[in-house]
Amino acid sequence: RAVLSQVLQKLGKTMETKDEQFEVCVQSLNKQQGDGNRLFKDVKAYHAAVKAMHDTSKRLSQTLREVYEPEWNGVEDFAVITESEDLLWNDYEEKLSDQIVRTMENYTSQFPEVKVT
């Protein structure tokens, strides 16, 4: 039936009809989908940057442990400080993954790509 309608439209025998409200909804959905995908991309990039920062922080702590002289003040506190810092990074990275990245994955997976025919 759709093919017949298209043929008649091309021959000028019928008028093409449009559902303006539907078109507005499609545009809105496409915008929301694009915005959601862009946000998800940025969230993943931010999460990757947090992981990189955590890795860099661990390397810096390791280097500081290696160069810190035993007779320097605070040597006994240094291990506790670096371990605590690593725990904080782990916690932040895990919460970011659980509360934001997975939430965005679940949200964007609800919207398969909309095709306009």
- 55-103 pLDDT, tens digit each: 999 999 999 989 988 888 888 888 899 999 999 999 999 999 999 989 9
pTM over 0.75: no
What would the pLDDT profile of 21-60 be if each residue is shown by its tens digit? 888 888 998 898 888 889 989 999 999 999 999 999 999 9
Domain spans of the chain, in order of start: 2-109
Architecture of domain 2-109: Up-down Bundle (1.20)
What is the rounded distance in angstroms from the CA atom of residue 88 to the CA atom of residue 91?
5
Write the CA distances from 86 to 20, 60, 76, 81, 89, integer angstroms: 56, 11, 17, 9, 5
DSSP conformation letters of 32-98:
HHHHHHHHHHHHHHHHHHHHHHHHHHHHHHHHHHHH--TTSTTHHHHHHHHHHHHHHHHHHHHHHII
